[in-house]
Structure 1
Amino acid sequence: MTAEISEQPDVLAGLVAARADIAAVARSIAARPPRFALLAARGSSDHAALYAKYLIEVLLGLPAGLVSPSSTTLYGANPDLADVLLVSVSQSGGSPDLVEVTEAARRRGALTVAVSNTPSSPLTGVAELAVDVRAGQEQAVAATKTYTATLLALYLLVDAVRGGEGQDVRDIGTLARRTLDESAQGVARAVDRYRFADRVITAGRGYSYATALEASLKLAETSYLAARAYSGADLLHGPVAAVDEETAVLAVTSAGKGGAAMHDVLDAVASRGADVLTVGSAAERMPAAVRIPVPETAEEVAPILEVLPVQRMALGLALARGGDPDNPRGLRKVTKTR
């Protein structure tokens, strides 16, 4: 996990260099304009799919939703998907439910796109179009480089559909390296402060909600923490009542509308005595016990960077708590569900 976190700047730079391949897929999508988009995924890829949902809704102005695979695999639902774009996101491309959903959607008229780190996977084989995230083999169970590469691939795809040329991510490899280097001390402080935490809430708004979800998953699977993710808005709609002095709150706060919307959330949890950690390009402007800033980018690009110190924190906490982040108990690299 340590090595694969460190590989990310080079992986991201390499993916930007291969943008032409993704742009070719985008041209095929633009030639068949969809009436709306659906996204199918599991695990970390589901968080990447949520990020893509925001991209599609905000940048393309299209309705977008997340698929419930069991609607197809368990209940045999047969909706009309003519003129629909289905994007299936899977690092391994091997989960039977995603393969079945993609096959079924293609039969029902959808334009299907597989976004995967495994070009020879079953998922890629059944989709009409494919995007290779080019992260290289990932051995650690906890996804790190495949997650950020998937985010970037999805951004490049959506940006190219709208006619963009990836300008906001042209230096993403350099920015990722800066993020890892400059956040090291803040991560170390966070690990020291939260190594004995029992309960963690992660929260974000907008594009950064995906990062909050991924942060919760990483803390749970590597450090066995009771971590729960919320949209900042949903946190205020009831769950904030459970926040107290024993609660650690990891708030993802990058510059932009989503980060600005987190001010009320942080005021609420702080008033209840929570110990707050902020991560993101707006972190230093937020009330918190520990702040981990990252370089500022366009808001829609921020999740690619803001998750990097979170990955390092999950790794550090796992080691500090005596765990083995490369071999979390009860988990395998590829999980096959139906």
Structure 2
Amino acid sequence: MISSETGSATQMAREAREAPQRCVEQLRLNASLMREAGRRLRALAPPFAATLARGSSDQAGAFAKFLLETHGQMPTLSHAPSIGSLYRATSPRFRGAPLIAISQSGRSPDLLAAAEDARAQGAVIVAVVNDAASPLAELAEIVIPVHAGAETSVAATKSFVCTLVALTHLVAEWSEDAALLAALETTGDVLTAAADADWSAAVEPLREANEMLVIGRGPTLPIAGEAALKLKETSGLHAEAFSIAEVAHGPMTLVGRGDPVLALAPLDVARTGLAERLADFAARGATVIAAGHADDVTAAQLVLPSRTDVHPVLGAIAQIQSFYGLANALSLARGHDPDSPPHLNKVTRTL
């Protein structure tokens, strides 16, 4: 939550606050569509699935991979757009496999070229888009609209949250996961509480930072990736995301006294070892900022408010909802305009 009048006036803040209601509406509008998509994908019985995306959407693709592999027992790969758009090397082994193409605009040339190439090889294109009339949607066999509404801030917020909810809904129907479907019914309440959570206490320790780590695992690793990306985009802060399990394999040696570490703790079994890892960072003198179960974040100098009594998948989505308020406030505190990051455009026309 941004308490200052200036902070709440940014387009980024306004759009982020729309996400909970947009997600509720999406779940209502997509209910029958998702049931049918789940039925079609179960009947397809593919040996694997793939995602196709860039930027924030690629972090959503990583979230889809987590969901499909843990809830759907479906091996899932990330298909690099350049494999189809530049190298023209899409394999005929894609025949009958779903390719989940994720794009807010549905107009990025490289994604379109890669999707077209994969479709020519027999892939079943599933488009997860905000614009259901976009070229990407037109070439897909299954179209999943995220219903985020117009998003004008360059930094994606509500479209990312809505995309995560749509992917969760799709996987829940595909895998017939009753617990996940039941959890989705709480989406509005969980995300509204997350939007109201005040993470602004983290602004001061990050105001003068030049670099930092953002760590997560399982459902929160893609959330950490999105958070790191937003810190770069909106605050000019060199933030890098790593898995809690991988950060000790090299990156941890770069962290010293006063260096900030933001831990977005998972609420599921991926919590394993987190408390010890954060204690290691604290022992090095790092400034540890964390959200998660109380038992996991005892070593943190700053614990961010978050609910831990929710489904782990929704808990991960709630963390990025809360983080966007922090990102907006930090951007302003560092003298940046979060609505117009330098050198960036809403539609990235990579070839």
Q: TM-score, normalised by structure 1?
A: 0.95
Shift of residue 12 of structure 1?
Answer: 1.4
Counterpart contact for 2:275–2:297, Cα < 8 Å: no
> Within 5 A, what are the aligned runs for 1:257-336?
257-280=269-292, 285-296=297-308, 297-336=310-349
Deviations 1:119-176 (A, max 9, x none): 0111111111110000000011111000000000000000001124621110211111
Q: 2:182 matched to which residue of 1?
A: 167
Partner of 1:16: 27
Fraction of identical pairs, as percent: 36
3-state SS of paired residue (1:322): coil
What is the deviation of 1:285?
4.0
> Distance between the aligned counterparts of 1:133 and 1:282, measured in 2?
33
User: Aligned in 2, Cα 1:281/1:114: closer, same or farther, shift over 3 Å?
Assistant: farther
Tell me the SS of whatever aligns to 1:236. Answer: coil
Alignment of 1:75-154 (within 5 A): 75-80=87-92, 81-154=94-167
Aligned partner of 2:6 in structure 1 is: none
Name which of structure 1's ranges 293-302 and 101-110 shifts more when overlaid on structure 2.
293-302
Q: CA deviation digits over 1:31-81, x for unaligned, max 9?
A: 211110010000000000000001111111111111111112221203121
Structure 1, gaps ≥5 residues long: none
RMSD across aligned C-alpha pairs, in angstroms?
Answer: 1.5
**Cα separation, partners in 2 of 1:261 and 1:121, compared to 1, 3 Å:** farther
Provide structure 2 residue ranges, at least 5 long, that are not aligned to the other structure: 1-11
Report the TM-score when normalising by structure 2: 0.92
Match for residue 4 of structure 1 among 15, 33, 44: 15
Deviation at 1:177, TM superposition (A): 1.1
- Equivalences for 1:216-255 in 2 at 5 Å? 216-255=228-267
Distance 1:3 1:236 in 2: 38
Q: Deviations over 1:268-316 (max 9, x none)?
A: 2122111011024558744211111322321122221011221111100
Q: 1:164 to 1:317 in 2, by over 3 A?
A: same
**Contact 1:23/1:156, CA 8 A, preserved across alignment:** no
Structure 1 pair 60/231, CA: closer, same or farther in 2 (3 Å)? same
1:283–1:43 CA distance, 2 compared to 1 (3 A): farther
Deviating 4+ runs (over 3 angstroms): 280-286
Shift of 1:226: 1.1
